[in-house]
Amino acid sequence: MIRALKEKYKTEQVFWGVIFIAPTLIGLIMLNLKPAVDTIILSFQKSTGFGNQIWTGLDNYRRMFHDVEVWQAVGNTFIYALLTVPAIIILSLLVAVLLNQKIKGISIYRTIYFLPVVSTPAAVAMVWKWLYNSDYGLINFLLSKLGIQGPNWLTNPHTALLAVAIVGIWSAVGYNMILFLAGLQEIPKDFYESARIDGASPAKQFFSITIPLISPTLFFVTVTTIISSMQVFDLIFMMIDTTNIVMPKTQSLIYLFYKQSFILNDKGYGAAIVVLLLVIIMFFTAIQLIAQKKWVHY
Amino acid sequence: MKKSKYLGYVIAALLLVLGVSACGSKNSSQSGKKTTISYAIWSKNQEAGMNAIARAFEKKNPNIKVKVEVTPWAQYWTKLDAAATGKNLPDVFWMHSQEAYRYMSNGILMDLSNVVNKDLGKKNYPQAITNLYTLNNKVYAVPKDIDTVALWYNKTLFDQAGVKYPDSSWTWDTLLENAKKLTNADKGIYGLGAFNTAQSGYYNYIFQNNGKVLNAQGTKSEFNNKDTQAALQFYTDLILKEKVSPSVQEFAENSEASFFESGHQAMGTFGSFYMNEFIQNDYVTKNCDVAILPKGKTRASVSNGLGNAVAANTKHKAAAIKFVKFLGSKQGNVLQAEKAGVIPAYTAVANHWVKAFPQFHSQVFVDSLKYSKVLPHSKNTVKASTLETEVLTKVFSGKESVDKGTQQIYSGVNDILKQ
């Protein structure tokens, strides 16, 4: 193989190539790859404190398969993903299409939609926690003006995850909108012009021109949104108190990982939970990579 | 071609040299005459007080500089754990009884037995606090402060309801009876707060009922104790049956003290460590005061105390020990009482703390020390109390009976302590 490479590239080129990608490569190996491998190793160990571990084989995994809390968290994570992913994709595509027109003050609208992305997640969660408060929260106050008795958003097991998901959607739309906007601006205007001449309705134009042409962006957004929604943590951590009765019904896998690793100091078990999440995410991403051949047009 | 190859080597060599020199400069700054030691704490409220003590210490020891570093409680232990793993601990830091065992048993803390017992004099501190940081007859921290719990009440709400202020004659019956009178559902006012917190909340009731949380050695749960269960039943009834307290849901949406601080809760059990927060709240200073806890079968108040620990592998051993000695000294404790707002562990100067808070009857906290019970702790307090909180959330919200809940805690905690 080395000989084949040597014939194809000049040593000089390889040398400089390596030098140039070194900063990224070293960063990737040290900050991403090595910790990932360490985590997998840690999941087969039991930590006895302060970086000391003993090898326990599959103990953590055996315990995990009998742990109701873990499977409840898997369920919670899936429900959260189901609530947020379709909404994020549809809303951000909709906003991107609407903001891809020549209207006055377009940059102001774009800024408004992008603002949640720039805000600190912790601060966002705190403000939303106030909005959701059942006593003095703005949301229930407005609902009461309409004659509706609002639910106890964050302490009712039926609404808590939905409440968290709404914040998740609200803060993710702006970022994906920007990606879609970039995709939309790549589409040549003449396609729409000729479609209009042929008498295609705006809806027809959207489904026959826009969707196929931004399918690479759509694919990218779908993959990243699913991954990030499976990794939800900060919103739950900030908005659901540990003494809240809905905690078992809202905690995600990452929250459980945090609890086991950093509150209960069971780092080995925490690592096993995160490996489970890794497997789940890899599974869904693999399915998408196979399915994309059918609908993504490059 | 050759030229560019050399250029690459030159760049690589340059990077190496730069890296090495960066490390070198770090070392050289330490070789100066002035030693800097770090002091890690978690309370923003006490930052000014700790800095005042550090400055007073620097005045006495001009060649030592103390850097006070504040990390909020939630991140403090994660950070300390990582620092201990990476052998990069702060020189001096706060220790809490909940976490102490792990650090003491793993050789992370320096043995300060001589400092506490001989140099400072162990008689100066309550034995119970020294015991929290003692393992196999070795003392690993200098007692820093001590806290107790008392009954805070809202004078204005008491006047409106025509109820006499709480005093030493109060029992559980008086407490419940008056809490009912003070509760006004239409106005959203509750008589009492029964929140899901051990130290400020239900542990006090358990001890007042002669109940226990753990056995004397801290190796077995006592949640199957009849008195413990009866106390928890009384506490649960305050929320669910008598409805004199905000519900678990209401407390989860707001902070523990928010109902009291906004005039929606007439009475609440809060520890002396709330003093710094209450003093900054205009509503509380104008309308509220504090009295001793009502008597159950016996008088009791939960007490805990922090310690100042030194890293076993500190590079500045002499300076760090000098500093903890100052922290534990009479002068350091007077400063702490006046500037940091916590009851000093040095028993003789507790009156300085009382004088610092003339707005309230602060003396009741010091008086409570006479019959205080130490906050229960074991070799894995964090795991045990996390389980306890999770189960009691269900009990206090009526999803689980006291009998079944305490049984779950009993067997769960015993499993944890066996590990």
In this model, does residue B32 exceed pLDDT 80?
Answer: no
Give the list of residues 6+ apart from residue B248 with CB closer than 8 angstroms, or none.
Answer: A155, A243, A244, A245, B196, B239, B393, B396, B397
**pLDDT in the model for residue A250:** 94
Instruction: Establish whether domains B35-147+305-345 and B149-303+371-418 are of one fold.
Output: yes
Confidence of residue B179 (pLDDT cuts 50, 70, 90): very high
Cα–Cα distance measured from residue A248 to residue B389, given in angstroms and rounded to the nearest whole number: 13
* CB distance A145 to A231 below 8 Å: no
Closest Cβ opposite residue B81 in set A50, A243, A247: A50
The answer to which of A146-150, B188-192, B207-211 has the lowest mean pLDDT is A146-150
What CATH number is given for B35-147+305-345 in this structure? 3.40.190.10
SS (H, E, C) A263-295: HCCCHHHHHHHHHHHHHHHHHHHHHHHHHHHHH
pLDDT digits (tens, 9 = 90+) for A159-217: 999 999 999 999 999 999 999 999 999 999 899 999 999 999 988 999 999 999 999 99
List CB contacts (< 8 A) between A16 and chain B. 4, 8
Contact A97, A210 (CB under 8 A): yes
List the domain boundaries for chain B.
35-147+305-345, 149-303+371-418
Per-residue pLDDT at B49 exceeds 50? yes
Question: Which residues in chain B have their CB less than 8 angstroms from residue A251's CB?
Answer: none
- Closest by CA to A184, choosing from A81, A92, A59, is A92
At residue B1, the pLDDT reads 41
> What are the residue ranges spanned by the domains of chain A?
2-42, 61-295
The mean per-residue pLDDT over the stretch B51-67 comes to: 95
What average pLDDT does the segment B290-299 reach?
Answer: 96
Cβ(B269)–Cβ(B201) below 8 Å: yes
Q: Look up tokens 């005045």; give the residue.
A: B59
CATH class of A61-295: mainly alpha
Pairing of strands B64-70, B35-41: parallel
Tell me what the mean pLDDT of segment A282-291 comes to: 94
* CA dist B146 → A219, B126, B142, B372 (Å): 59, 9, 12, 11
**Into which CATH architecture does domain B149-303+371-418 fall?**
3-Layer(aba) Sandwich (3.40)
Residue B16 has pLDDT above 70, yes or no: no
By the 10 Å C-beta count (0-12 exposed, 13-18 middle, 19+ buried), B161 is classed as middle
Closest residue in chain B to residue A154, using alpha carbons only: B253
Amino acid at A147: G
Contacts of A243 in chain B (CB under 8 A): 195-197, 248, 251-252, 389, 393
Contact A245 B85 (CB under 8 A): no
Count of alpha carbons within 13 Å of A227, Cβ hemisphere only? 14
Residue B20 has pLDDT above 80, yes or no: no
Q: How far apart are CA A172 and CA A168, in angstroms?
A: 6
Spatial separation of the C-alpha atoms in residues B200 and B196, rounded to whole Å: 9
